[in-house]
Homo-oligomer: A and B are copies of this chain.
Amino acid sequence: MKTRDKIILASLDLFNERGERNVTTNHIAAHLAISPGNLYYHFRNKSDIIYEIFLEYEKLVDYYLQIPDDRPLTLDDMMFYLESVFDGLWSYRFFHRDLEFLLDSDERLREDYRGFTGRCLESIDCIFHGLAEGGVIENQPEELRSAMSLNVWLVVTNWMAFLKTAHGNGLSDELSIHMLKQGIYQVLTLELPYLMPEYREAVMTLREKYRPQLPENGEGMRSASRKKLGNF
């Protein structure tokens, strides 16, 4: 593999694992057993590495969120979208973490990310529209649908952060893609009231599969807090 690609991959891994803020260019170089000079031969600076990673993330999500325009959408479609998006979220999970700082320090990224958000919101909106056409959910006025889409976006993009903060010991090892996908439970919760009656039971059953499990460790969370946090 080319050094340039190795740098991107290693950076992504390290960012995901330790957070962008805790990973320096020297760390990345050391991790790959290459010199800092070598790294800076391939990338002008750290922001450029992050930007490259973002482009890949963007490409992946755009790919996942393609919507067929020749047919309405089914429940299976919807679940596939959810699964895919959470997969993407997991692979690039560092990104939504220090997002604001990243955007603050790279104008190009800020602009692109804004477009990305716009496209995602539009896709979510289209998916709802397609589901309504497919008779899975009720049709809603445009205004309500786009506000709903935005809520879905907020829940999806911030579920990871919630998990990390809600779990006591900062062991990020604990956080698995499996736990991340419990976010699907939350998204389905959002959609429940809009389902057509004949789909309600099916979705409730699906939803149950993503229901958050109690972390198996007895330690860490005091019983009072556990009660308050419910399943988390």
A contact residues vs B (CB 8 Å cutoff): 19, 21-22, 97-101, 103-104, 107, 110-111, 113-115, 117-119, 121-122, 144, 146-148, 150-151, 153-155, 157-159, 161-162, 164-168, 170, 185-186, 189-190, 192-194, 221-222, 224-225, 228-232
Structural contact, B19 and A229, CB atoms closer than 8 A = no
Question: Which secondary structure dominates chain A's binding surface?
Answer: helix
Structural contact, A185 and B103, CB atoms closer than 8 A = no
Minimal beta-carbon separation of A95 from chain B (angstroms) = 11
Contact of A151 among B146, B157, B189, B228 (CB under 8 A): B189
Structural contact, B165 and A154, CB atoms closer than 8 A = no
19 residue pairs from A and B, CB less than 8 Å apart: A22-B104, A100-B161, A104-B170, A107-B170, A110-B165, A110-B168, A110-B170, A114-B168, A114-B229, A117-B229, A118-B228, A118-B229, A122-B228, A147-B185, A148-B189, A150-B162, A150-B186, A153-B162, A154-B154
How far is B185's CA from A135's CA once the two chains are assembled, in angstroms? 27
Chain B contacts for A21, CB-based, 8 A: 21, 101
Minimal beta-carbon separation of A193 from chain B (angstroms) = 3
Given contacts A99-B161, A147-B189, A193-B193, contact A117 B166 (CB under 8 A): yes
Q: Considering only CB atoms, which chain B residue lies closest to A96 in the complex?
A: B161
Contact of A114 among B121, B155, B221 (CB under 8 A): B221
Q: Considering only CB atoms, which chain B residue lies closest to A222 in the complex?
A: B115
Task: Report the copy number of this chain in the oligomer.
Answer: 2
Contact of A119 among B19, B113, B228 (CB under 8 A): B228
Chain B contacts for A103, CB-based, 8 A: 164-165, 170
5 new A-B contacts, CB < 8 A, other than A107-B170, A146-B230, are: A111-B168, A114-B167, A115-B222, A115-B228, A118-B228
Minimal beta-carbon separation of A24 from chain B (angstroms) = 14
Given contacts A110-B170, A155-B154, A170-B110, contact A100 B144 (CB under 8 A): no
How far is B115's CA from A222's CA once the two chains are assembled, in angstroms? 9
Chain B contacts for A115, CB-based, 8 A: 222, 224-225, 228
